[in-house]
């Protein structure tokens, strides 16, 4: 989730710095890579995931309203997870099914 945040923030920052906060700018993935401090292959993988989750459009690279909502809500989501005691999302199956 934090990586999603960093990449989305990188896209927004790039839009703002290039003077096109309306999303009309042609954002280069390599610039987002620099801002999010990720290896390029990982960035490509996460951009695919972000597009699948409808948070960005890849061509041309831009952030969707849902992506903006996620950025806006990021702190609340993090606080919610901490309050619920969830440190990370386990990729294994759920506990009830494991014990069957």
Q: Are 57 and 51 in contact (CB under 8 A)?
A: yes
* 86 belongs to the binding site for another protein (CB under 8 A): yes
Closest approach of another protein to the CB of residue 62, in Å: 18
Residues 6+ apart with CB under 8 A from 7: 32, 36, 38, 43, 46, 47, 50
Q: Which is nearer to another protein, 39 or 94 (CB)?
A: 94
* 37 belongs to the binding site for another protein (CB under 8 A): no
Q: Which is nearer to another protein, 19 or 76 (CB)?
A: 76
d(CA 79, CA 99): 30
Closest approach of another protein to the CB of residue 72, in Å: 10
Q: Are 41 and 52 in contact (CB under 8 A)?
A: no
The residue range among 20-28, 33-41, 56-64, 79-87 that interacts with another protein, by the rule CB under 8 A, is 79-87
Max intra-chain CA distance, the chain:
56
* 90 belongs to the binding site for another protein (CB under 8 A): yes
Closest approach of another protein to the CB of residue 37, in Å: 16
């Amino acid at each position: 989730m934090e990586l999603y945040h960093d990449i989305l923030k990188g896209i927004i920052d790039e839009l703002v710095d290039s003077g096109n906060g309306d999303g009309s700018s042609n954002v280069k993935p390599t610039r987002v890579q620099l801002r999010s401090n990720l290896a390029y292959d990982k960035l490509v993988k996460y951009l695919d995931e972000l597009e699948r989750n409808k948070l960005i459009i890849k061509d041309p690279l831009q952030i969707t309203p849902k992506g903006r909502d996620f950025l806006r809500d990021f702190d609340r989501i993090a606080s919610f997870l901490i309050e619920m005691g969830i440190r990370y999302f386990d990729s294994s199956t759920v506990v009830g099914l494991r014990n069957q």
